[in-house]
Amino acid sequence: GDSVTQMEGPVTLSEEAFLTINCTYTATGYPSLFWYVQYPGEGLQLLLKATKADDKGSNKGFEATYRKETTSFHLEKGSVQVSDSAVYFCALRVTLGGGNKLTFGTGTQLKVEL
Amino acid sequence: EAQVTQNPRYLITVTGKKLTVTCSQNMNHEYMSWYRQDPGLGLRQIYYSMNVEVTDKGDVPEGYKVSRKEKRNFPLILESPSPNQTSLYFCASSMLQDRGPDNEQFFGPGTRLTVL
């Protein structure tokens, strides 16, 4: 079945450090890929997405490139801020007759310190 | 404001006492879904609905029921809750995929349920 594997956290960084959170996937067909962010006490928000191979999603300084050859969608940010502290979820969606089911990774907690 | 609302946000109950968590969306979305979030497991889909009166099981449906009598509402029902249903629950909604590429899934704020 479809699955998403993320690096385990927590990841602790100093402000302005470079961030990478690894994500790899297994899927039948051609999935769309997503990163969601969950701030403390809140629901999930879509951070960025990519719908086909070699697409790059970007938002708020975060980027991720859909790599079909390595089945990966790693999240990166050049300079993190304290306000980026949150849990980040990688997810995929495979076309299934119009449905919109998301398959999530386990989440990676990011802590950014001054 | 476009949003998904859930109630209650927090609930502590006892084993066997029936409960309902409500979910409502104001975006006229056809697709609605319930997920549970557990440490180390991420989010897993419980049930989903592709339109009024059309519901189906997700990956972890045991112990749950849903109904979709109106397009905007998708309540989650626990007929006889057990401690292993202690979790954080999220409702989500979106357009159907075949409505085009802009079918972002919107999530509610979550309901933290504790079953003693």
Closest by alpha carbon to B77, among B87, B67, B69, B68? B67
Cα of B86 to nearest chain A Cα, Å:
17
d(CA A25, CA A13): 25
Cα of B7 to nearest chain A Cα, Å:
13
Are A91 and A105 contacting, i.e. CB atoms less than 8 angstroms apart?
A: yes
- For residue B104, the chain A residues in CB contact (below 8 A) are 46, 49
pLDDT value of position A29: 78
pLDDT digits (tens, 9 = 90+) for B20-39: 999 999 999 999 999 999 98
Are B7 and B22 contacting, i.e. CB atoms less than 8 angstroms apart?
A: yes
Residues B82-106 have a mean pLDDT of: 84
Average of per-residue pLDDT values in chain B: 93
pLDDT digits (tens, 9 = 90+) for A39-74: 988 889 999 999 889 999 999 999 999 999 999 999
The phi and psi torsions of A87 (rounded to 5 degrees) equal -105, 130
pLDDT digits (tens, 9 = 90+) for A9-47: 899 999 999 999 999 999 987 889 999 999 988 889 999
pLDDT value of position B40: 87
- For residue A100, the chain B residues in CB contact (below 8 A) are 31, 33, 48, 94-97, 103, 105
pLDDT value of position B75: 98
Closest by alpha carbon to A84, among A8, A28, A19? A19
Confidence of residue B92 (pLDDT cuts 50, 70, 90): very high
- For residue A4, the chain B residues in CB contact (below 8 A) are 42
Residue B98 reports pLDDT greater than 70: no
Pairwise CB contact (< 8 Å): A43 & B96: no
pLDDT value of position A5: 95
Query: Hey, which residues 60-89 in chain B have their CB within 8 Å of chain A?
Result: none
Best of B33, B35, B43, B68 to disrupt the A interface (most A CBs within 10 Å) is B43
Residue B99 reports pLDDT greater than 60: no
d(CA B106, CA B30): 12
Closest residue in B to A1 (Cα–Cα):
B59
Residue B100 reports pLDDT greater than 60: no
Tell me the β-bridge partners of A50.
A33
pLDDT value of position B78: 97
pLDDT value of position A97: 60
- For residue A105, the chain B residues in CB contact (below 8 A) are 42
Confidence of residue B84 (pLDDT cuts 50, 70, 90): very high
Percent of chain B with pLDDT over 90: 84
Pairwise CB contact (< 8 Å): B33 & A100: yes
